[in-house]
Structure 1
């Protein structure tokens, strides 16, 4: 009970999302007060395979797990992720088939003006070797993030965390790859070295022997070069290198931000900002190299980075509870069912709850805010109190106050 002589933190009655966890207090100066209970010890939202349990808060309300305390096995892991694995394999096969297909459009292009000058010198660069081959760009976009996911397990120690995060990365890369190969196939464009590999049999004297106004437009039928090289030179838009770099390295940057709390509720060490921007620099270097070896136009590169960034954001949000909200963006969303795994334990939910406590703006000037304590795991960073057992204060209005939705 609270009275005039008790100097404990007195909090006016407000509508809280966690009122079920508060005890009724007394009436002081006509104001009904409530005293918060002791918070339970922080529990992890996922249990590691090393501990022999599924991901999820064990058989409690709030964050649903995969069957509570049931033991994880490889077979169950396959059943949980099986539909995703099959979908990724199917999309990979579709992407490979489209990549090998002949360009769909029949583009027209001018070669010479009537005075013998080349119309588009930006497509007359010589064919060079790629500084970063496409296979290396795709490999780096996967291997580098995966290595950091594995390194961060030194502290997080969760096989489920590693596999779920990696599945999100793969989904980002595969979605971006399929998206861009369809654009290459159906839209495409001329590479900067197109005329060099086309080797048109048109001389300046025949500059007006084509079609269109003035007769200056031609199609690939005038090319005498290698058919494979011509096909490739007609599929410049968008850049596959840039798409892969954006899908992989932007995903890694988001992961760094979430785990290191680069943009959070405190002023972090400068090295964290460097770590956050490092993968973005890597993506820009891979993309920029394509303008040096003249394999892509600048707009091909920008389009590829945009596509990869979009799939990285989408895939990250499908795996984690938030993208930029520092309170939730390190928390894995529950994966409780799939097409091949329908078993959900009693007392669990398939939804993620976003609990919020009240903030200082709702309290008296001499009172500390009531902080919402999440039954969740901490991120990689331990700076500024980001550690197990430490509560996190929520900002007003930017998360749902309900315990389930």
Structure 2
């Protein structure tokens, strides 16, 4: 039995074991979640995501390398020499956490922790759904934010230091041909980047402040990890967990906040750039997790990986990977032979009312009850 393999609860007709198919060809609609597929079988159900990720990554990289789309006007000084907006005149400093490191940490740390969780979870499809969902979150968030940077952008706090403006270069200055938005606006204090004399790459980068790519990546990866840990540790569930589990769930949130906050220390972003990046990353994290797991907040189902070809009916009869979690407290994760966390197996557990000695009252009649009918 492989490390990521599980036996199906019924024990019969369980499909491929250790990646080898004993019966008909691998069914991409009704494949078993309790056993590990071969690479070819996995590829049959995942190839479209791989192609999509490659395409989105290429699009995102292309937009990231493109020059800022809009012509942005900015003030320099008043007639008496006073800087109009000193918040854009900070010195250019070295980044505390460069963008490549923020993206690396947001991807690698969650993947390592997901793999460590398999010491108890031991499910190939849990690893698959967790990592695929993480990539959903990171890639979609990255592409989302690079389009905003390219089409909207904004001035970084160190813009004027990078620009090194010389207003004598204004396109409508005496003797210079061309019409632009230079020496324009009230009292003629606004200019465009034609007056900048600094490095062109640094100037283009300093015109793309909104939103923060660091914050987007950090929150997309670490908020996703926080949701995953809550599901596997059952922190917000139906029993009183140990305090270390609360710390474990919020440690990734702290990490994301520290990465984002560092950008306001090294003056690479304005506070609203950081907030926008955090919102984008968090939205993508919640969306990606819910695509791959049966719930986010419902503690009865948020640990269950979703099947690509079959719906989750939210009933406890015959549910695969019902025990795909780390915790073993309060009846959760008791073993593959039981519908773990619900006091037994199948309908009998349903009718007894649930986890451990905590009863649930059924709502409505009938022998088959849905999970969302239980209170």
Counterpart CA distance in 1 for 2:273 and 2:37 is 45
- CA deviation vs aligned residue, 1:348-379 (integer Å, no higher than 9, x gap): xx1111127xxxxxxxxxxxxxxx89554311
Q: Does 1:381 align with 2:327?
A: yes
Change (3 A) 1:320 1:391: same
Matches within 5 A, 1:118-157: 118-157=83-122
Change (3 A) 1:218 1:401: farther
Change (3 A) 1:177 1:148: same
Q: Contact 1:43 / 1:377 at 8 angstroms: preserved in 2? A: no
Return the match for 1:351 from 311, 318, 336: 311
- CA deviation vs aligned residue, 1:264-310 (integer Å, no higher than 9, x gap): 00111000000011000000000000000000000000000000000
Counterpart residue number, 1:283: 256
Counterpart CA distance in 1 for 2:281 and 2:263 is 16
Q: Contact 2:34 / 2:321 at 8 angstroms: preserved in 1? A: no
Q: Contact 1:109 / 1:219 at 8 angstroms: preserved in 2? A: yes
Counterpart residue number, 1:292: 265
Counterpart CA distance in 2 for 1:226 and 1:299 is 26
Matches within 5 A, 1:3-402: 51-52=18-19, 65-66=30-31, 72-202=37-167, 210-336=183-309, 350-355=310-315, 376-378=321-323, 379-387=325-333, 388=335, 389=338, 390-392=340-342, 393=354, 401-402=369-370
Counterpart residue number, 2:348: none
Q: How many residues align?
A: 321
Counterpart CA distance in 2 for 1:311 and 1:332 is 18
Look up the SS of the partner of 2:160 in the other structure: helix
Q: Contact 1:323 / 1:329 at 8 angstroms: preserved in 2? A: yes
Structure 2: gaps (5+ residues): 1-7, 174-180, 343-353, 355-359
Residue 133 (structure 1) shift: 0.5
Look up the SS of the partner of 1:272 in the other structure: helix
- Give the alignment's TM-score, normalised by structure 2: 0.79
Counterpart CA distance in 2 for 1:68 and 1:166 is 16
Counterpart CA distance in 2 for 1:70 and 1:327 is 22
- Give the alignment's TM-score, normalised by structure 1: 0.73
Q: Contact 1:53 / 1:68 at 8 angstroms: preserved in 2? A: no
Q: Contact 2:125 / 2:305 at 8 angstroms: preserved in 1? A: no
Q: Contact 1:172 / 1:308 at 8 angstroms: preserved in 2? A: yes
Change (3 A) 1:401 1:183: farther
Look up the SS of the partner of 1:352 in the other structure: coil
- CA deviation vs aligned residue, 1:233-272 (integer Å, no higher than 9, x gap): 0000000000000000000000000000010001110000
Look up the SS of the partner of 2:237 in the other structure: coil
- CA deviation vs aligned residue, 1:87-125 (integer Å, no higher than 9, x gap): 000000000000000000100111112222111000000
Change (3 A) 1:232 1:209: closer
Counterpart CA distance in 2 for 1:196 and 1:93 is 32
Please say which structure displays the higher CA radius of gyration.
1
Change (3 A) 1:222 1:48: farther
Q: Contact 1:258 / 1:330 at 8 angstroms: preserved in 2? A: yes
Structure 1: gaps (5+ residues): 1-40, 337-349, 357-371
- CA deviation vs aligned residue, 1:204-228 (integer Å, no higher than 9, x gap): xx9x970112111111111111110
Residue 72 (structure 1) shift: 2.5
Q: Contact 2:145 / 2:211 at 8 angstroms: preserved in 1? A: yes
Counterpart CA distance in 2 for 1:174 and 1:217 is 37
